[in-house]
Structure 1
């Protein structure tokens, strides 16, 4: 079945672009502009949030142009899977930016124009995340009415979205190499995050491209082995990262310092201790996701079933 034959009509595409994509573009652009206008006062957290909003704005604009020009059939994967999978990630990106920016920046800024801009940017970021969720829900209903199997609505796809997204957040908090280059065990943890992210991304792309059954081994077994490997790797990271970051016996600080390394209050950067804690929490969260993924595939193999259209 070709992508062209299952694509919405031109009127439907125009309606989605006007009533869904245009508000998304407006919200992410406003959030980006408000923080960009703060200059050096926005700090590293502001730059980090701006990168999220700019990515969402740019890709949403590209998707809108592709759909308006009816170029979806030129892509190697089914276009509807690509666009809605992106919407899932965009919703998570905007939501994460809203939460992290608000708790690490707004509460430290005194009342005034900078605080007002930060609050407004957070509000528009929240609006954007709601709009992306709305897009996913609308398209889900549309494809269900057309009786089209929608990969990203399956449990296995949602788990892969969460695995890769949480790993991306971990990499964002690891932007400072000083957090881990001083210790071999911590470098191993970073290697674990990288290896598991690459494995999850490869499996995700195989599914999107519908190439999973071209493998030499059954795909459920292949997925089960990778999930088990990822769980074991993440267990090692969950043990080693807190141990070498917060253990007093190893010369680290188990509690947040009362003074000192809080980051520059003028630019509102996160302190190193907070970044290490965020990585530890995200490691535990992603381990739970991988365990759920492992359990999902173990159950699929035990009962001998695969995802069916409508499996969610």
Structure 2
């Protein structure tokens, strides 16, 4: 059975990175948590990201300090790199969303300065998590144990689920879709495809993919094809019912009266902008699923299948 060779220097570098990650995320949410002014739904979402990253990183650091995972280095690094990938993407998205949907509307003064400082620390956290991914990738590169999230299909699955999470943040405003069955179908599509991708990730992280009754590439190909078809329907229906006047949509931003209410924190991102953002993200995720489909189609067509991996 293959094992990972992990030295004390690797563990020390991991701990140092995680301490810096804790500091950056802690400062980020501490700067904006008690500002005393409304943040809106997306502002609260970014604050939740920083809190989540801080909490999970703290748990991982404590486990490493107590050496509870020292006997399972392969499992430790698989889960660590998966979390680091998501944390890097989450901190990056939080930095972008918080700056574009919230900070730019704050008046010049101490509140704006604190918000900008929070963005800086969020960007630092993103870089630290990205460095951790690189460090762990180096460990796997010099071993004969593979990690799913460091492969092409694994990275695609991470990006697919991450994009879906951002979509969920934008559709947290239920008024965008609750009146139209077609739009509720789109929300169901986002949920179904997210769960499918999450199941694949869990199967791989648990080394259970080869216990399926059918070959894993066939299983992946079927799920990905279904996701492509579902997302294609969402890409047609969502913009149609959101922007076509014939079916009750609003083709122009000026036609949305809520977009003029910029003094209310709940409208830092007006509904029309949210509709447009979901449309763009739907197109991006469809492209990711198409790339995933091409990969697995090639894998199945040539009849290759990776042997069960060591752990």
Give the TM-score band, short-chain normalised: over 0.9
Greater Cα shift, 111-120 or 267-276: 267-276
For 2:71 and 2:195, locate their aligned partners in 1 and report how far apart those are by CA, in whole Å.
26
Q: C-alpha displacement at 1:7, in angstroms? A: 6.2
- Counterpart of 2:46 (choices 31, 45, 49) is 49
Count, aligned residues? 306
Q: C-alpha displacement at 1:76, in angstroms? A: 12
| 2:253 alignment partner, SS class | coil
Q: C-alpha displacement at 1:74, in angstroms? A: 8.0
| 2:258 alignment partner, SS class | coil
Number of the residue aligned with 1:82: 79
Q: C-alpha displacement at 1:45, in angstroms? A: 2.8
Q: Considering only aligned residues, what root-mean-square deviation do their CA atoms show, in Å?
A: 2.1
Structure 1 residues 1-312: aligned runs within 5 Å:
1=1, 6=4, 8-10=6-8, 12-18=10-16, 20-72=17-69, 78-257=75-254, 260-262=257-259, 263-267=261-265, 269-307=268-306
For 2:201 and 2:80, locate their aligned partners in 1 and report how far apart those are by CA, in whole Å.
14
Q: Which 4+ stretches in 1 moved above 3 angstroms? A: 9-12, 73-77, 306-309
Contact 2:28 2:50 in 1 (8 A): yes
TM-score normalised by the chain length of structure 1: 0.92
For 1:10 and 1:78, locate their aligned partners in 2 and report how far apart those are by CA, in whole Å.
17
For 1:12 and 1:216, locate their aligned partners in 2 and report how far apart those are by CA, in whole Å.
38
Contact 2:49 2:90 in 1 (8 A): yes
For 2:185 and 2:42, locate their aligned partners in 1 and report how far apart those are by CA, in whole Å.
26
Contact 2:221 2:293 in 1 (8 A): yes
- 5+ residue gaps, structure 1, are none
Greater Cα shift, 40-49 or 284-293: 40-49
For 1:259 and 1:276, locate their aligned partners in 2 and report how far apart those are by CA, in whole Å.
11
For 1:289 and 1:224, locate their aligned partners in 2 and report how far apart those are by CA, in whole Å.
14
For 2:73 and 2:189, locate their aligned partners in 1 and report how far apart those are by CA, in whole Å.
30
- 5+ residue gaps, structure 2, are none
Greater Cα shift, 268-277 or 9-18: 9-18
For 1:101 and 1:171, locate their aligned partners in 2 and report how far apart those are by CA, in whole Å.
16
TM-score normalised by the chain length of structure 2: 0.92
